[in-house]
Amino acid sequence: MSTGLPSVLIIDDNAARASIIEAGLRNAGHDRVTIIAEMHGIVAKIATLAPDVIVIDLENPNRDLLENAFQLTRAVKRPIAMFVDRSDNEAMQSAIDAGVSAYVVDGLRQERVKSILDMAISRFNAFSRLERELEEARGALEGRKIVDQAKGLIMASRNISEDAAYRLLRKTAMDQNRKIVEVAEGLVLSAGLLGSGGNGGTG
């Protein structure tokens, strides 16, 4: 049974991001949500689906193609760019910042669409945040590996314990006002260049 809310098409080749937007819309009661990831034949697919609202990521290079198709369509329900009347500059700014854009069929009242776009914006932002955190986590993991490697080098060359090697690294970093991982990186790099057991370490 339809809730009477506008039908939504999400065009995004990032499947994970598309599905979190879909989940958000379904939670909000939208029962007619479709995702298209494959751009081949997109115009025909849109014509068949005839969605009320199209949500598309700004990285998608096919926007010019789609806009041209919308321009040429003879259908009564012609999609037009969101906020084309400049009614809500702020919302448009945040959409662009989040990396998302939308098209709405002509005649559909903007307020009926606002909540859909707001959802898309917040989910796009959440997704970018998640990606950033993952990236940082990956960086942190890499850092720990390098510190382990540097400790191994110091232990081998000075014949000291792991604890002592770490204390030496930390002291050097403090003395030079640098991060431990930077000092470790320098050490591993120079060891590699000088060929003095650059393969060592526990990482």
Partner 1 sequence: MIEINGGFLPLTDSAILVVAKEKGFAEDEGIALKLARETSWANIRDRLAVEQFEIAHSLAPMPIAANLGLTPFDTKLIAPMALGLGGNAITVSNAVFDAMATTGDIASQDARQVGLALAQIVKARGEKGQKPLQFGVVHPFSAHNFELRYWLAGVGIQPDKDIDIVVLPPVLMADALKSGRIDGFCVGEPWNSVALARKAGKIATTKSAIWASSPEKVLAVNAIWAERNGPAMQALLRAFYAASIWCGEAEHVEELAELLAKSTYLDQPVNTILPALNGGLLGEKSTSAFFEPHARAATFPWQSHALWFYSQMVRWGHVAHSDERALVAQETFRPDIYRAAIVPTGASVPSANSKVEGALRETIAVGASSQSLLLGPDGFFDDRFFDPDHLDLYIRSQTV
Could you list the residues that contact partner 1 (CB under 8 A)?
58-65, 67-69, 71, 80-81, 84, 86, 89, 92-93, 96, 101
Residue with smaller CB distance to partner 1, 19 or 62? 62
Rounded CA-CA distance 104/110 in Å is 8
- Residue whose tokens read 């909540």: 115
CB of 126 to partner 1, least distance (A): 22
Cite the DSSP H helix spans in 159-179.
162-175
Rounded CA-CA distance 154/57 in Å is 49
CB of 67 to partner 1, least distance (A): 6
Q: Is 153 helix (H, G, I), strand (E, B) or coil?
A: helix
CB of 187 to partner 1, least distance (A): 29
Residue with smaller CB distance to partner 1, 69 or 164? 69
Residue with smaller CB distance to partner 1, 10 or 146? 10
CB of 63 to partner 1, least distance (A): 4
Rounded CA-CA distance 178/73 in Å is 61
Between helix 110-158 and helix 89-98 the angle, nearest 10°, is: 30
Residue with smaller CB distance to partner 1, 59 or 162? 59
